[in-house]
């Protein structure tokens, strides 16, 4: 489980396709090597991936993960390449502060940035969600975009708007987003469960 509070920005430094449905990624980060164990979960742009190896090379730490068929099919991981920047978050530990909202790291799909309005130190971003996910998105609710916990400001049909504060623009990849870019979206778990209960009724 995660919170959607990004703790590092990593960079893809190697990509190797092991098969048509399996991609091996090596990611550089600023985490201390001692804090990354084989088998640990790290959210990479909101995608929960399992560490298969880790080490230190010069002044940076690296870890390797494998992205399988489902991950490549429903997330942006298939487009990651050498130099791609990624929002990183390590899994929650008992006693950690829950500063964002509960995020599983199980991406539901991909949303596209349709409009960006740069304000004084902030940015208003408008995304379009896949039709099957838009019913889970509500004003004042939560959503995780590329692993970043955000509060939704407004919703109209399949589009929703979020106001990004200066700190988030500085410490995540959202600051570099431009119209046409796609992001991983995970809808709020509570919204999903409420919708399922209503369907059963």
Global confidence as pTM: 0.93
What are the CA-CA distances from residue 2 to residues 7, 88, 102, 134, 197 (Å)? 11, 10, 6, 22, 24
Do 142 and 70 belong together in one domain? no
45: left (phi over 0), alpha (psi -120 to 50) or beta: left
Assigned domain for 77 exists: yes
Domain total in the chain = 2
pLDDT score recorded for residue 200: 67
CB 101 within 8 A of CB 3: yes
149: domain CATH number is 2.40.30.20
The verdict on residue 99 lying in a domain is no
Q: Does residue 144 share a domain with residue 85?
A: no
Domain extent at residue 79: 8-90
pLDDT at position 124: 98
In a domain, 95, yes or no: no
pLDDT at 194: 76
Query: Does 143 score more than 70 pLDDT?
Result: yes
121 and 66 in a common domain:
no
Per DSSP, what are the bridge partners of residue 25? 15, 65
Pair (84, 123) in one structural domain: no
Tell whether 103 is covered by a domain: no
**Cβ atoms 108, 187 nearer than 8 A:** yes
pLDDT of residue 121: 85
Nearest in space to 184 (alpha carbons), one of 25, 46, 56, 70? 46
pLDDT of 201 reads 66
Same domain, 122 and 195: yes
Of the chain, the percentage scoring pLDDT greater than 70 comes to: 99
> What average pLDDT does this structure show over 20-38?
95
CB contact at 8 A, 107 and 47? yes
Question: Residues 120, 188: one domain?
Answer: yes
């Amino acid at each position: 489980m995660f919170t959607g509070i990004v703790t590092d920005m990593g960079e893809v430094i190697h990509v190797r396709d092991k098969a048509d449905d399996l991609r091996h990624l090596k990611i550089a980060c600023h985490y201390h090597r001692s804090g990354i164990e084989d088998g640990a979960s790290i959210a990479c742009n909101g995608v929960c991936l399992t560490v298969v190896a880790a080490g230190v090379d010069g002044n940076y730490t690296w870890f390797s993960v494998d992205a399988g068929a489902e991950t490549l099919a429903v997330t942006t991981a298939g487009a990651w390449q050498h130099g791609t920047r990624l929002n990183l978050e390590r899994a929650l530990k008992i006693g950690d502060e829950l500063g964002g909202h509960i995020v599983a790291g199980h991406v539901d799909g991909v949303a596209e940035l349709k409009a960006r309005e740069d304000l004084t130190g902030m940015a208003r971003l408008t995304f379009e969600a896949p039709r099957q996910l838009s019913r889970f998105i509500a004003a004042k609710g939560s959503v995780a975009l590329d692993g970043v916990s955000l509060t939704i400001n407004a919703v109209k049909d399949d589009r929703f708007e979020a106001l990004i504060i200066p700190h988030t623009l500085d410490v995540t990849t959202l600051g570099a987003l431009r119209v046409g870019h796609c992001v991983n979206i995970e809808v709020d778990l509570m919204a999903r469960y409420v919708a399922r209960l209503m369907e059963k009724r």
